[in-house]
Amino acid sequence: MSSEELVAFVKDLVNSRTLPAIPENCRGNEELEKIFVQMLEIRKAILAFSGGDFSQDIETKGFIAGGLKGLQAHLKHMIWQVQMVAGGDFSQRVEFMGEFAVSFNAMVEQLRSTIEDLQRKEELLSALTNKLQLEIEEKIKIEQALRASEARYKNLASTDALTGLYNRRYFFKAAANEIARIKRNKRSFCLGIMDVDHFKKFNDEYGHQNGDRCLVQIARLALKSIREMDLLARYGGEEFIFLFPEANMEQGFAIAERIRNFIANVPVVMTNSTSASVTVSIGLRLVEEFEGQTTNELLQTAIQQADIALYMAKNKGRDKVIVSYGEEYTI
C-alpha cells in the first residue's frame, strides 16, 4: 500500500459518515486491522455520546480511548449531579470541565437561591394565611357572641326575669298588634287580669323566697292552661295579664276558669319541702264592638274593665272568675 493510499484510508476512517473497508492489499496486516478495530470502537462511542447515550463500553486502550473514557465518566457523574439537583440537593458542584463547571455551579447556586427565596415567601404566605384564618375565626366568634348577646338582651327586654313570662312592655306591643288584626276581621277577644289572693300574707308568713316560688309556679300552671295562640305576661307584682284572641265570652271564661282551678289544686312546695295552697282571682273583659275606638283605646278600655271585674272578684270572696260584658259583670 502506497503512502497516498494509506492517507486516503485513514482520512475516510476518521471523516467518512460510512465506515470504509480495509483495502484488499492490506488485509491480513494485523497492526492495521487492530487500528481499524480501535477506530471502529471509538467511532461508535463518539456517535453514542453525541446522541446522549453514555452507557457505551469502551474496551480499547490508548490515548484517544482513555480521553473518551474520562469524558464518559465525567458526563455520567454530571448526569448524576443534575439528578441530585433536581431532587433538591443544591450542594452539588462540578470541579472539572472548565467554563462548563463555572456555568453549572452558577446555575445550581442560582437555583438554590431562588428555591430558598420561594420557600421564604411560601412560609411568609403560609404565616399570613394562618394569621388571616385566625382573624376570620376570631371575627366569626365575635359576631356569634354579638348575635348571642343581642338575642339575650332582646330576650331580657321582652321577658320577666323571675317567671320567664313576657313582661308588661312586650305584652302591650304584642296585644296591640293582635287586637289590630282582630279589629280588621271583626272578631271578638277576651282580656283578663289575674291577681294572687292574699299574696302579702303569703309573703309575710312564708318569706319572699317562697313568694317568688309561688309566682313561678303560678306562671307555669297558667302557661299549661292557655291555648297556643293566647298571650300571657306578668303585669306587675303578683298580677298577670292575658289576651285570648278570637274568643267569645264562653270560651274566655272556660280558659280563665281552667287557670283558676289548676292553680287552686296544685300546692306550692316551699324551700323546706312543706307545701301551701294559693288561689287567684281573675277579671275578664269581652270585647266585640270596635266602632269609634282605636286599637290602643280598645286595649286600654279592656284593661280598665277587666280590672273592675277583678276588683269585684276580690269583693265576692276571691278564688273566682268574673266576666265584664258591656256594662254587665257575671260570675
- Tell me which of 238, 239, 257, 291 is the catalytic residue: 238
130 Cβ contact list (under 8 Å, min separation 6) = none
Lookup result for grid cell 277583678 = 310
Using CB atoms within 10 A of its CB, is residue 10 exposed (0-12), middle (13-18) or buried (19+)? middle
DSSP of 267-302: PEEPTTS-EE---EEEEEEEE---TT--HHHHHHHH
64 phi and psi angles, rounded to 5 deg: -65, -45
Using CB atoms within 10 A of its CB, is residue 53 exposed (0-12), middle (13-18) or buried (19+)? exposed
Q: Does 327 qualify as catalytic in the annotation?
A: no
User: Looking at residue 28, what DSSP letter applies?
Assistant: T
213 phi and psi angles, rounded to 5 deg: -60, -35
Residues annotated as catalytic are 238
